[in-house]
Amino acid sequence: MKSNKITVSQIAKTTGLSPATISRVMNHPELVKQETLESVQTAMLNLGYDFQKATVLPVQKKKIIILNVPDTENIFYDEIIKGAKTSAHAHGCHILVNECPIESGTIKEFCDLIKCIDVAGVILLNQVETTLLEQIHAIAPLIQCCEYNKSSNYPYVSIDDIDAAEKATNHLLSCGRNKIAFVNGPLSFKYAIERREGFLSAMNTADTFVPKNWMIQLPKVNYDMAYAAISRILNEETIPNAFFMSSDIFAMALVRAAHHFHLKVPKDIMVVGFDDISFSSIISPTLTTIAQPSFQLGYSACEMLIEIILNPSSTPKSLLLGTNLIIRESTSIQAP
């Protein structure tokens, strides 16, 4: 019996190729090697795929997916958008990016927007209160991506921020650093709460004390605010010999502020960032950081949404993807 209910991730698992490659094979078979094409097609046939049917949405169906982000300024979102676009395109849908927070003051505007466009579904990268999630869900199916509301039951794809922050902190401790400061974003976000928890847990386990004024809480992910806060710390007599940052933007501010105080990174101060934005491997020194699977986050969020759009009674299982510690010059003991 032939079925079209197999997923890209099943094909990826069978072939050992990445979901992105599978998607490229499906969208642009002319761009991939003949052997890749054949391996995917064989796997799809074996999984029972019927090439006569298309997985794209029927013509009369709604085709617009709104991807709502807190801020297009944060380049961390770029790869997420790309991942979502790749999935959407494979199903004949369009991704349109809408930038605004979703809170009591903006919910009406957002709901008007998605009603007016008659969207197929919504991917939310904001932290949204349960009652507001319900208002959105009454209009269109939704998936939460990266940020998610723990007290709601709507599906999400995200990462384990506690584990990631522990990995980052343990790396600094294993480099022999014991005076570690932490710069974080607003605690209204799930990521900020969990990264703080992971940092403190690793420091506690290592029985290492963190002075209160070395735990910086900023109101947004902003380079200038971070630079100012870090400068105050570096201006004291006793300064940290390492920083864990909940964003690469903060790590970049540390590199620059250290330069101003004639301190060398990593010799005097090591730093680990978060996100692995493209600039992390571009600046000098290059940044050790936690790489999020950004493309996969966007891709999976959209795949899960499409699953609900095609079958409104389905409830895709929420998913936490793995992160990687990428060690670069900012924590390298041999580096200049």
Name the DSSP letter for residue 292: P
Q: Rounded to whole angstroms, how far apart are CA atoms 278 and 87?
A: 22
Is residue 173 involved in binding a second copy (CB under 8 A)? no
DSSP string of 94-117? EEEEEE---STTTHHHHHHHHHHH
Beta carbon nearer to a second copy, 119 or 202: 119
Q: State how far the Cα of 121 lies from the Cα of 311, in Å rounded to an integer.
A: 12
- Give me the least distance between CB of 135 and a second copy, in Å please: 17
DSSP code of residue 154: -
Q: In whole angstroms, what is the distance from residue 80 CA to residue 76 CA?
A: 8
Query: Nearest CA to 40 among 72, 62, 64, 18?
Result: 18
Q: Are 116 and 59 in contact (CB under 8 A)?
A: no
The encoded tokens of residue 332 equal 């390298």
Contacts of 189 (CB under 8 A, 6+ apart): 127, 147
Sheet holding 215-217, edge to edge: 215-217, 180-184, 242-245, 270-275, 288-291, 324-326
Nearer to a second copy, 113 or 239 (CB): 113
Per rule CB under 8 A, is residue 27 in the interface with a second copy?
no
Q: Which is nearer to a second copy, 117 or 310 (CB)?
A: 117
Give the nearest distance from C-beta 249 to a second copy in angstroms: 8
To the nearest 5 percent, what fractions of the chain are helix, strand and coil?
A: 45, 15, 40
Nearer to a second copy, 164 or 251 (CB): 251
What does the alpha-carbon distance between residue 203 and residue 192 come to, in Å, rounded to a whole number?
Answer: 17
- Which two structure tokens, joined as six digits, stand for 44? 């799809």
Residue list 104-133, contact with a second copy (CB under 8 A): 109, 113, 116-117
Please, which residue, 85 or 171, has the CB nearer to a second copy?
85
| 3-state SS, residue 8 | helix
Give me the least distance between CB of 319 and a second copy, in Å please: 24
Q: How far is the CB of 221 from a second copy (least distance, A)?
A: 12
Binding to a second copy by residue 99, rule CB under 8 A?
yes
Q: Which of 3, 27, 46, 72 binds a second copy (CB under 8 A)?
A: 72
Taking the complex as a whole, how short is the minimal distance between the CB of residue 45 and a second copy, in angstroms? 29
* Cβ closest to a second copy, residue 39 vs residue 286: 286
Give the span between the Cα atoms of 222 and 246, in whole angstroms.
Answer: 12
How far apart are CB 107 and a second copy at their closest, in Å? 14
Contacts (CB under 8 A) with a second copy, residues 228-287 = 252-253, 255-256, 259, 278-279, 282-284
Amino acid occupying residue 104: S
Contact pattern for a second copy over residues 31 through 70, marking x by CB under 8 A: --------------------------------xx-x----
Q: Which is nearer to a second copy, 179 or 279 (CB)?
A: 279
73 touches a second copy by CB under 8 A: yes
Segment 175 to 204, residues that bind a second copy, using CB under 8 A: none
* Cβ-based neighbour number of residue 259 at 10 Å: 11
**Shortest spacing between CB 119 and a second copy, in angstroms:** 10
Q: Which is nearer to a second copy, 120 or 233 (CB)?
A: 120
> Which of 93, 104, 195, 201 minimizes the C-alpha distance to 147?
195
Of 84 and 162, which has the nearer Cβ to a second copy?
Answer: 84
Task: Please tell me the count of residues contacting a second copy according to CB under 8 A.
Answer: 30
Contact residues for a second copy, defined by CB under 8 A: 63-64, 66, 72-73, 75, 78, 81-82, 85, 94, 96-99, 109, 113, 116-117, 223, 252-253, 255-256, 259, 278-279, 282-284
